[in-house]
């Protein structure tokens, strides 16, 4: 399957500078059409403008959504609102949401269902802590999170899995290729052949080719290296050519 290179801007990006990065990304992709599908998940405040600036060259996604469609939930954004702003994807269960907003696997599953209800594709994030890896529990943790965070009814069309070891996020540390391949093969056994499995955690232009060349790695979820269009384009160019 075609790989997916998804940028998660996290809480970064303001007006004109963000607009310029979207424009540069669109121009770069037009000049050198990628082997991979591309997705940008900016902050919710930028989705409508980014959607306009992308001009259909790539889709936009949210970084989180509330489980309800509307209501008295001050400060929250629903999947329907993301869709209304121009998004077609949403990340749910990112470890930063699980950590700082105490989201449980059940919360994440409810958000994935909300994404589907709104017609969005959900990127469900899972991954172990450094302690869990050191104690040899990585595969158990990943199995448990998959079982509890991905609702019944998931299909390759409505759901993508992102494996993001928490200790590799924003640290410059990555698992070895063998470690990534082991976890992805394990996830593959659980989710089946058609579902995309992304790797995330310190993916950069310098290591992208090796990581994206691994079996069962169907793309990347990229934080820091997605913020500058030139870095992100270099990383997209490293995608493996798969049909």
Residues involved in catalysis: 94, 164
Q: Which of residues 47-106 bind ligand 13P (CB under 6 A)?
A: 94
**Minimum Å distance from CB 202 to ligand 13P?**
4
**Minimum Å distance from CB 227 to ligand 13P?**
9
Out of 175, 216, 224, 239, name the contact with ligand 13P by CB under 6 A: 224
Q: Which stretch binds ligand 13P (CB under 6 A): 15-23, 69-77, 198-206, 232-240?
A: 198-206
Specify whether the CB–CB gap between 138 and 98 falls below 8 A: no
CA-closest candidate to residue 39, choices 160, 146, 126: 160
Residue 122 interacting with ligand 13P (CB under 6 A): no
CA-closest candidate to residue 108, choices 120, 121, 96, 125: 125
**Minimum Å distance from CB 150 to ligand 13P?**
17
Out of 169, 233, 238, 239, name the contact with ligand 13P by CB under 6 A: 169
Size of the site for ligand 13P (CB under 6 A): 14
Q: Rounded to an integer, what distance in angstroms lies between the CA atom of residue 106 and that of residue 103?
A: 8
**Minimum Å distance from CB 164 to ligand 13P?**
5
Beta bridge partners of 61: 89
Out of 78, 159, 195, 202, name the contact with ligand 13P by CB under 6 A: 202
Give, as one character, the DSSP assignment of residue 66.
Answer: B
């Amino acid at each position: 399957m075609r790989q997916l290179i998804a940028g998660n801007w996290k809480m970064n990006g303001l007006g004109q500078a963000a607009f310029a990065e979207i424009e540069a990304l669109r121009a770069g992709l037009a000049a050198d059409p990628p082997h991979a599908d591309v997705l940008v998940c900016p902050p919710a405040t930028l989705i409508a403008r980014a959607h306009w600036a992308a001009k259909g060259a790539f889709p936009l996604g949210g970084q989180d959504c509330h489980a309800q469609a509307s209501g008295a939930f001050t400060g929250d954004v629903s999947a329907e609102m993301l869709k209304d702003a121009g998004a077609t994807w949403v990340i749910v269960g990112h470890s930063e949401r699980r950590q700082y907003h105490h989201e449980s696997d059940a919360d994440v599953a409810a958000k994935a269902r909300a994404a589907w209800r709104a017609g969005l594709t959900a990127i469900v994030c899972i991954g172990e802590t450094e302690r869990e890896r050191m104690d040899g529990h990585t595969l158990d943790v990943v199995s448990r999170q998959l079982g509890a965070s991905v609702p019944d009814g998931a299909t390759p069309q409505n759901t993508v899995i992102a494996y993001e070891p928490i200790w590799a996020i924003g640290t410059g540390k990555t698992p070895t290729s063998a470690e990534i391949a082991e976890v992805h093969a394990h996830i593959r056994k659980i989710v089946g052949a058609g579902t995309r499995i992304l790797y995330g955690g310190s993916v950069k232009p310098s290591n992208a080719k090796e990581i994206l060349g691994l079996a069962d790695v169907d793309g990347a979820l990229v934080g820091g290296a997605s913020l500058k269009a030139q870095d992100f384009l270099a990383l997209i160019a490293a995608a493996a050519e798969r049909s």
